[in-house]
Structure 1
Amino acid sequence: MATKKIPFSILELATIGAGFTTTEVFQNSLKLAQKAEEFGYKRFWLAEHHNMVSIASTATSVLMGHIAGGTKKIRVGSGGIMLPNHSSMLIAEQFATLSALYPNRIDMGLGRAPGTDQTTAQAIRPDRMQAVYRFPEELKNIQQYFSTENKHAKVRVPIAEGVHMPIYILGSSTDSAHLAAKEGLPYVFASHFAPTHLFEAFHIYHNNFKPSKYLDKPFTMACVNVLAADTDEEAERMSTSSIRMILGVLSGKIDYLQPPMEMTLQLQQISMNPAVQRMMKYSFIGSKDTVKVQIAKFLEETGVDEIMVASHIYDPEARIHSYRLFSEIMEELENEKWEVLN
């Protein structure tokens, strides 16, 4: 049994439910972050997606300011900034500004995926494919902007120089595992939607990790989906919103997150589709006791240093309750672990 304490965090996509305004979605994101702070979550990260009617998390840095300004101690970060969409200098300026406003609370998670379809990615940045290949170089540029040595450079971000900015490399395949290992940076895997290469990526990262001034040993985090409720039946009903959302993604007919409904034979058949099964491999759905067994197994199998949770739950109060139950699960697992050890 693992002996380390496992922190738990949230990945927020600001999912837009049918009938909700964008303003209400952002208000609900902040309320969730405030509750997460109470429940003992370590981080609250915001995703970056574009041209998706169901997701409002597009301007990641702006949303981070909204969340950090309405909370007191929870770490706020990007999960992540899709760096090829941006100028590394402007990202350094944005995050240095956030760090000055909310000292010692800002995380920078960086990925290389577009966070959208290829047509939209081209609209965001016509030279995006070249930027993808320059991802390691752009990472170095950001690290340079935050270094004290950069004060002698011609191109500077003065407000970033000397600021401690934790950087995390995000991945959904094996590519970024090599980069995170080479640069000695923490590695975060998007197993909540791309679980196929989770263990292979972790194997690459652990076997090739080189200690750095940022990190002396490997650090892994994995994201999973959790839909927890008071009963298995209630959680199953909540999951109908997610199943229909996934179907929309796979069919190219993305719509707002729909209210839950009773599980039908058709939805059960959809949920058993191999493509849906792959996406939902690490979706833990059920009562607290049910999810607890699934989470304990996942933590044991992966050996992650931290777990991040995402959820697509239509009702804001049901979503808060799900995150409350998950925090209780993590606390119970921690207490049980120490009872065994002692």
Structure 2
Amino acid sequence: TQRIRVGSGGVMLPNHAPLVVAEAFGTLAELYPGRIDLGLGRAPGTDPATMRALRRSRVETADDFPQDVAELQRLLAPATPDQRLIAMPGAGTNVPIWLLGSSLFSAQLAAERGLPYAFASHFAPRLLHQALDLYRKLYRPSAAWPRPYVVIGVPLIAAPTDAEADFLASSTYQRVLGILTGDRRRLLPPIENFAARLQPQERAAIGDFLAAAVIGGPDTVRAGLAHLRQATGADEFMLVSDVFDPALRLRSLDIAAQAVAEMA
């Protein structure tokens, strides 16, 4: 590739030492200058045994997150003469840091640090508007980001028709139901009339989980994305397209890209 930016969405910082993260992303930044982004999450995102395996020296917690973010910012900035711990590579790359979250904590921290903020509305949309309001209200401009900058996660299933998109979305519905019931599996093939087989409370729970989803044909996708942009003022969308067939997943993203181009 020549221009595409590559970023993490994201590194769950409680699982990793800041120095290791700084040097990994510093390596990428040296190989592809100006094209790497570092998204950081506060949640461990896994079970305690895996956390210990990922970071053997000690188990970090979400309470360490602000200090770890500050340490990463120092490691990626130009080294000072009296600095003892230097990321090699990493120092001086100034890899852009994004904070990711689904709660008000990360929104407030991103605002205080003058960092861009990505909200995980693709799986936890309940606090979306409250978090964005808080982030913008408390935002302190920084040299790299003089204005607040927001990305929102959007579950997206696009197809040539609404009916086909709803059929393909049954893979997502199965995945979400598995998450909600503790029966996590790999993404499953779509099933005809899957939603009709569910109990009302199951459909309601899936609907809450996917409240920010856009599912449909080109016109429906264009209208859905336009509504989200108007409702949230988001600067970017982070699209999550859980389509079982990889080729149809790429087609889904192509349809979405065309819809966004037509919204411009």
Task: Name the residue aligned to 2:170.
Answer: 240
Structure 1 stretches of 5 or more lacking a match? 1-70, 335-342
C-alpha separation in 1, matches of 2:25 and 2:194: 46
Aligned partner letter, 2:40: L
Taking the aligned partners of 2:97 and 2:228, their CA distance within structure 1 comes to 25
Unmatched segments (≥5 aa) in structure 2: none
Q: Is the 8 A contact 1:169 1:187 kept in 2?
A: yes
**Residues 222-275 of structure 1 deviation map (CA, whole Å, 9 limit, x = unaligned):** 010110000111111101111111111111111121111211464454686332
- Whether the 8 Å contact between 1:181 and 1:206 is mirrored in structure 2 is yes
Contact 2:159/2:217 (<8 A) preserved: yes
Aligned pairs (5 A) from 1:61-80? 71-80=1-10
328 and 234 in structure 1: CA distance in 2 versus 1, 3 angstrom threshold: same
Partner of 1:306: 236
1:161 corresponds to which letter in structure 2? Answer: A
Distance in structure 2 (CA, Å) of the matches to 1:102 and 1:250: 39
Q: Are residue 141 (structure 1) and residue 110 (structure 2) matched?
A: no
Percent of matched pairs sharing the same residue: 39
Do the aligned partners of 2:41 and 2:99 also contact (CA within 8 Å) in 1? yes
Per-residue CA shift, 1:275-304, capped at 9, x if unaligned? 211111011111011111111111001001
Within 5 Å, which residues of 2 pair with 1:34-49?
Answer: none
Which range moves more in the overlay, 90-99 or 273-282? Answer: 273-282
Correspondent of 2:114 among 184, 192, 205: 184
Q: 2:31 aligned with 1:101, yes or no?
A: yes
SS of the equivalent of 2:257 reads helix
The residue type equivalent to 2:177 in the other structure is L
Q: Which amino acid aligns with 1:322?
A: S
Query: 1:137–1:272: structure 2 CA closer, same or farther, 3 Å change rule?
Result: same
Distance 1:124 1:244 in 2: 29
Find the residue that maps to 1:278 and give its secondary structure.
helix
Aligned length: 263
Which runs of structure 2 are paired with 1:196-215 in the superposition (5 Å)? 196-215=126-145
Are the counterparts in 2 of residues 79 and 110 from structure 1 also a CA contact under 8 Å?
yes
> Partners in 1 of 2:240 and 2:81 — Cα distance?
39
Distance 2:254 2:148 in 1: 29
Aligned pair 1:225/2:155, yes or no? yes
Superposed CA deviations along residues 210-231 of structure 1, whole A, max 9, x for unmatched, are 1112211111110101100001
CA separation of 1:103/1:289 partners in 2, compared to 1, >3 Å: closer, same or farther? Answer: same
CA distance in 1, matches of 2:214, 2:130: 21
Provide closer, same or farther for how the CA distance between residues 149 and 273 of structure 1 changes in structure 2, counting only shifts above 3 A.
same
Q: In structure 1, how many angstroms separate the alpha carbons of the residues matched to 2:25 and 2:81?
A: 18
C-alpha distance in structure 2 between counterparts of 1:313 and 1:265, whole Å: 16
Corresponding residue for 1:82?
12
The whole-number CA distance in structure 1 between the counterparts of 2:203 and 2:164 is 22
The structure showing larger relative contact order (alpha-carbon pairs under 8 Å, at least 6 residues apart) is: 1
Shift of 1:117: 3.6
Q: Does 1:132 align with 2:62?
A: yes
Q: Select the residue among 142, 157, 162 that pairs with 2:92.
A: 162
Q: Distance in 2 between matches of 1:248 and 1:272?
A: 11
SS in 2 for 1:192: coil
Contact 2:44/2:62 (8 A) holds in 1:
no
Quote how far apart the aligned CAs of 1:121 are: 3.4
Distance 1:283 1:235 in 2: 12
In structure 1, how many angstroms separate the alpha carbons of the residues matched to 2:67 and 2:214? 37
Contact 2:177 2:202 (8 Å CA) reproduced: no
TM norm structure 2 = 0.94
**Do 1:150 and 1:161's aligned partners in 2 also have CA atoms closer than 8 Å?**
no
The one-letter code sitting in structure 2 at the alignment partner of 1:224 is V
